[in-house]
Amino acid sequence: MPQETRTSPAQAAIPSVDRILRDPACDVLVVRFGRRPVTEAVRGDVAALRGRLAEGGREAAEVGAIVARVAAALERAAQPSLRPVWNLTGTVLHTNLGRAPLPPEAIEAVVAVAGGASNLEYDLATGKRGDRDVHLDDLVCRLTGAEAATVVNNNAAAVLLTLNTLAQRKEVLVSRGELIEIGGAFRIPDIMARAGAKLHEVGTTNRTHEKDFLDSITPRTALVMKVHASNYEISGFTKSVPERELAAIAHGAGLPFAVDLGSGTLVDLAQYGLPHEPTAAETIASGADIVTFSGDKLLGGPQAGLIAGRADLIARIRKNPMKRAMRCDKMTIAALAAVLRLYDDPDRLAERVPTLRLLARPRAEIEAAAQRLLPAMRAAAGEGFAVGVAPCRSQIGSGSLPAERLDSAALVLRPAAARGAGTALVRLAAAFRALPVPVIGRVQDDAFRLDLRCLEPEGEAAFAAQLPALALRP
């Protein structure tokens, strides 16, 4: 080994890597993280320390300090990239924050199949190969009134697979007012192109009539489609063709009629004080041959795309080789089946499906939670911020009922000084994101706002307990 040419006394005082590794505190780290990661972390810390001392740093090279730094570094590195956060943005079904929280029944179902073998595609009665769709088929049919159903990884896949199966190299009629883009890269025209289907736009952006559809049908037409406008609303001088009429037009020409519901709730949301959304069952009853909808929007389950409808069309969709590339895994199927089973008991649905429970939470209850947390928040925020409780409006999110706002309550943190308020808010939001369980809020109207709709009473203690860790520099 080449000799170091100049070693300062401070550098010479650095304990050897072996000496550090023999420290009892390191044994604890080895048990937790493994010998190699600990050795590498110690080497890294010693090298960095040597560098700092070479540049004139004056810190003491003590084993205790080194081990403490190594422990902190290993702890940071062990944090998974994907981890829980508090969604206090005011958007309940937040795509970037994982959409629907699962009920315990679904989590238990995942755990039950995740660690071992299951009858995913195995018929226990005959001992022969089975079909993974059987675990969901009956449940979906019962809840939608469809003849058959299949499930893929998300609704985008459900739409793609439906179009590719029913309309490859053919035309699909869609109203111009429904050629939507949903957050990210899901645009109906693009999906249509990728599915190999040709989009035939019908009518105008704000008005589409029955005659527009009738005039557009040619021998090249394979499908009539309606897309739920999800994240926007056309108001004013508008006209669209109701599902029942569209179904009649399609069937009159011997064509199937597909509806992409997007959110696709399974129950009438009006019973929870929310506006009515067309349910999958209503859509099937009005004549849709296929409906597609998400598992993790209003349904409140895992990410999935449900396709329900006529048995002959579902059979064709299942046979499409693309289905193999989009099929759900056992954990999704287990979770979705457990959530769908909760719908068998409509009376307790709003208690048991977290998404519905959060959406139905009354403002007074959220406001009471905000008042309970106010003292802890004031103490954590310190002098730099005025903290209060204010009414706010939550959104459902994920393109569901976009115009609808739910009365809610927020903790509001406003910089005490007008000067530098913008920077203070940016730093405040970052400090909340840096908490052990990051807190995601929203900066709006010169204040940092935490809509407490999605912080349920069971979570309050854990939420408050980490607030003192907010490292707010004045």
Ligand X SMILES: *Cc1c(COP(=O)(O)O)cnc(C)c1O
Run of H or E including 408: strand 400-415
The pair of structure tokens assigned to 380 is 């954590």
The answer to whether 156 contacts ligand X (rule: CB under 6 A) is yes
Beta bridge mates, 309: 148, 290
Instruction: Please state the φ and ψ torsions of residue 232, each to the nearest 5 degrees.
Output: -150, 170
Check if the beta carbon of residue 339 is closer than 8 Å to that of residue 135: no
Return the range that interacts with ligand X (CB under 6 A); candidates 44-52, 80-88, 109-117, 154-162.
154-162
Does 159 sit near ligand X (CB under 6 A)? yes
The three-class DSSP label of residue 148 is: strand
- List 155, 221, 265, 395, residue binding ligand X (CB under 6 A): 155
| CB of 453 vs ligand X, minimal distance in Å | 21
> What amino acid is encoded at 254 in this protein?
G
DSSP 67-87: HHHHHHHHHHHHS-SS---EE
154 binds ligand X per the rule CB under 6 A? yes
**Which of 144, 162, 186, 267 lies at the binding interface for ligand X (CB under 6 A)?**
186
Instruction: Return the SS3 of 393.
Output: strand
Taking the complex as a whole, the smallest distance from the CB of residue 312 to ligand X amounts, in Å, to 24
Per CB under 6 A, the list member of 230, 283, 395, 408 interacting with ligand X is: 230
Supply the Cα-derived Rg of the chain in whole angstroms. 28
Among 101, 287, 300, 305, binds ligand X (CB under 6 A): 305
Minimum CB separation from ligand X for residue 451, in Å?
Answer: 22
CA distance 317 to 50: 64
Distances from the Cα of 53 to the Cα of 1, 17, 48, 50, angstroms: 22, 17, 9, 5
Residue from 262, 278, 309, 415 in contact with ligand X (CB under 6 A): 262
| Cα–Cα distance, 53 to 57 (Å, whole number) | 4
Size of the site for ligand X (CB under 6 A): 16
* x-or-dash string of contact with ligand X, 11-50, rule CB under 6 A: ----------------------------------------
Least distance to ligand X from the beta carbon of 181, Å? 10
Does the footprint of ligand X cover residue 162 (CB under 6 A)?
A: no
Binding window for ligand X (CB under 6 A); candidates: 160-168, 259-267, 404-412, 452-460: 259-267
Query: Which position among 287, 399, 415, 441 is part of the footprint of ligand X (CB under 6 A)?
Result: 399
Asked if residue 260 binds ligand X (CB under 6 A), the reply is yes
DSSP three-state, residue 128: strand
Q: How far is the CB of 404 from ligand X (least distance, A)?
A: 14
Q: Which stretch binds ligand X (CB under 6 A): 225-233, 265-273, 316-324, 343-351?
A: 225-233
For the segment 78-107, give every residue that binds ligand X (CB under 6 A).
none
DSSP per residue over 247-312, as a string?
HHHHHHTT--EEEEEET-BSS-GGGGTSPP--BHHHHHHTT-SEEEEESSSTT-SSS-EEEEE-HH
DSSP state of 241: -
Please identify, among the stretches 119-127, 257-265, 360-368, 380-388, the one whose residues bind ligand X according to the rule CB under 6 A. 257-265
Sole window of 83-91, 152-160, 318-326, 381-389 interacting with ligand X (rule: CB under 6 A): 152-160
Out of 74, 167, 222, 227, point to the residue binding ligand X (CB under 6 A). Answer: 227
- How large is the angle between the packed helices 35-54 and 63-78, nearest 10 degrees? 120
Q: Which residues bind ligand X (CB under 6 A)?
A: 154-156, 159, 182, 186, 227-228, 230, 260, 262-263, 294, 305, 398-399
